[in-house]
Chain A
Amino acid sequence: MAFLDIAHVGKTFGAASVVNDVNLAIEKGEFVTLLGPSGCGKTTLLRMIAGFESASSGSIHIDGHDVTLQRARQRRVGMVFQSYALFPTMTVADNIAYGLKIAREPKSAIAERVEQMMKLIRLSQHAQHYPWQLSGGQQQRVALARALASSPRLLLLDEPLSALDAKIRVALRDEIRALQRKLGITTLFVTHDQEEALSLSDRVVVMNEGRIEQVGTPFEIYNFPRTRFVASFVGTLNILNSRVLDEASGLVEVDGQTVTVARLRRSGHGERTLALRPEAVVLESPLAGRNSLMATIEEVNFLGSVVRLRARLQETVLSFDIFNDPGQTLPQRGSRVALGFSHDNLLELEAS
């Protein structure tokens, strides 16, 4: 059994099913992110692991112990909230010491541990300050130290960076990851921000409508999305509806033009959904061994280092980026262009 084992967990509120038969195994020391749009059930799943919600079905094991029916305070799970949730009437040091005091640790041990935690988050000089005297980023670091002080078995982070400014968000993100590596603590991180998920995690769990869509490394999730949802939620993927012409050679038809797919997942004829990353598409005349599609430029957005273009086949619209180059002229709106990409770049998605 994995360190954190979630088996067939479901949650219903009245008639609404929020989390649906979720199975997930997380190894000790792993950093796993639950990624999905709001309302996908990721926070509810996290709250069931923390013990703030009870699971309607299934079981949760931490380190071999069944915690499904345990109260939050019995689970020894550290939690960090989006709103920091620092105790407003306590100083930084008292906030960090809270869990240790409740565990009735000896005074000297508490003082030592608090000292150590404050060094770890580099806020020793703020020990006697109150939460309202700190910036958002500092408050969240204190919350992190408070959650880690009593050496929990598991660290849960519920969108901890969402309330912060962009710059601090990136800095704290790296800090959380460095801290997690240093302590080797098994961590579950909830976010709706795909960049956060991809940059932080050992593995990403993409959720939608209470179900897990795909579990994989950031590389796998980004490059080989399995479903239409994952493809569209992670990055900006182009979706192409196609019809298989010749299964053996992977020849398919898109809006009256033919392209070749390197690997078709399923056998048989009929409709297939294909995905194409914007960064795979280039403007080039048709080449042997590569796919080529004729399209009409609809939109040209100059963004500085890159230029984002939108082109239409018939029904299908493709977005793609080219690097800015002062020596080249940009295609005009309404002009006909040839778009090239390799056979490998066309990914077949699971039927949804």
Chain B
Amino acid sequence: MKPASRAGAWLAIALGSLYFLLPLIATFEFSLRMRRESYSLEAYRVVLTDPGFQSAFGYSILMALLTVITSIVLVVPTACWIELRLPRMRPVIEFITLLPLVIPAIIIVFGYLRLYNSSSWLPLTGNERATDLLLICSYVTLSLPYMYRSVHSGLRAIDVRTLTEASESLGAGWFTTLAHVIAPALKSAILSGSFLTFAVVIGEFTMASLLNRPAFGPYLQLIGANRAYEPSALAVIAFLVTWASMGLIQVVSRNAAGAGAKRRLPGA
């Protein structure tokens, strides 16, 4: 019974791995075949030296960083406030933060276009900077589930209420407590949320494309429609960025766990 079920488990793992890895390996292999005679990184050289790639990738990184900053500023105080003062609102906020997972991006962006088009009461699509702002807002919405989830679980792990009270009884106001006590204690949770947000935003296509902004996602699509080997190279690059973000989350959360695991020195 035992060996049979173990063999079944390994079979499932093998099939799963093939399902996920085969396309990746194939894409990678294909991206190396730009030169007929041998494997080379020619496709990567072409892509990386393309000014279009540089500007699109740079633009997406900038948007991602601004999104991360905005969502930290928005989510951290909100989550603390909910935890401390309005625990009854928690289910409502959780519902709201999960909505972007359920509502397709295209619906959100169409909503934006209806609300903020150039003939509306707040025309944000009229010039590029305003559209960038709209794009950042839409990215903040899109990444809300990830940022809120990780901050919320971070808050759960520390006793915010008592820490806040301790800080208050020592004379600190709300902002001081947030900046000096709670935010540092949430550092690893905030970083995890940030990397996730970064990974989600860097390759996002729908929002950027429909708002007509020169981001990495639309560039990927454009190259994909016109070239043979470069899209594969770009896909591998996009995967690497995502994996780097995931790896950093692991590093950050392992450090936090390590601090907890090393508890207690000898002596009372």
- The finding on whether chains A and B are genuine partners in a shared complex, rather than unrelated, reads yes
Residues of B within 8 Å of A143, CB to CB, are 166
Q: Which residue of B lies closest to A80 (CB)?
A: B166
Bound Cα distance from A52 to B167, whole angstroms: 11
Chain B contact residues: over half helix, strand or loop, or mixed? helix
Query: Counting CB contacts under 8 A, is B165 at the interface?
Result: yes
B185 lies within 8 A of A81 (CB): no
B165 lies within 8 A of A52 (CB): yes
Query: Counting CB contacts under 8 A, is B163 at the interface?
Result: yes
Residues of A within 8 Å of B1, CB to CB, are none
Given contacts A81-B162, A89-B185, A132-B260, contact A98 B170 (CB under 8 A): yes
Bound Cα distance from A99 to B260, whole angstroms: 25
Given contacts A81-B165, A89-B187, A132-B259, contact A150 B170 (CB under 8 A): yes
Question: Can you name 24 A-B residue pairings with CB atoms under 8 Å?
Answer: A52-B165, A52-B168, A52-B169, A71-B168, A72-B169, A73-B171, A78-B169, A81-B162, A85-B159, A85-B166, A86-B166, A89-B181, A102-B170, A102-B176, A132-B259, A132-B260, A133-B264, A133-B265, A134-B265, A138-B267, A146-B166, A147-B170, A168-B268, A171-B268
A-B residue pairs, 5 tightest by C-beta:
A99-B170, A89-B184, A85-B166, A79-B169, A85-B162
Residues of B within 8 Å of A90, CB to CB, are 184
Query: Counting CB contacts under 8 A, is A256 at the interface?
Result: no
B169 lies within 8 A of A51 (CB): yes
A73 lies within 8 A of B169 (CB): yes
A73-89: CB near B (< 8 Å → 1, else 0) gives 10111110101011111
Bound Cα distance from A168 to B264, whole angstroms: 15
Which residues of A line the B interface, CB within 8 A?
50-52, 71-73, 75-79, 81, 83, 85-90, 98-99, 102-103, 129-130, 132-135, 137-138, 143, 146-147, 150, 168, 171
Instruction: Pick from B169, B181, B267: contact of A77, CB below 8 A.
Output: B169
Bound Cα distance from A74 to B113, whole angstroms: 49
Given contacts A89-B185, A132-B259, A132-B262, contact A102 B171 (CB under 8 A): yes
Given contacts A103-B171, A146-B170, A150-B170, contact A85 B165 (CB under 8 A): yes
Instruction: Pick from B167, B263, B265: contact of A87, CB below 8 A.
Output: B167
Which residues of B line the A interface, CB within 8 A?
158-159, 162-163, 165-173, 176, 180-181, 184-185, 187, 259-260, 262-265, 267-268
Minimum CB–CB distance for B89 against chain A, Å: 17
Bound Cα distance from A73 to B175, whole angstroms: 13
A72 lies within 8 A of B168 (CB): yes
Given contacts A73-B173, A98-B180, 20 further A-B contacts (CB under 8 A): A52-B165, A71-B168, A72-B168, A73-B169, A79-B166, A81-B165, A83-B159, A85-B163, A86-B166, A87-B167, A88-B185, A89-B185, A98-B170, A99-B170, A102-B172, A130-B259, A133-B262, A133-B265, A135-B265, A135-B268
B185 lies within 8 A of A83 (CB): no
Residues of B within 8 Å of A86, CB to CB, are 166
Residues of A within 8 Å of B173, CB to CB, are 73
A99 lies within 8 A of B265 (CB): no
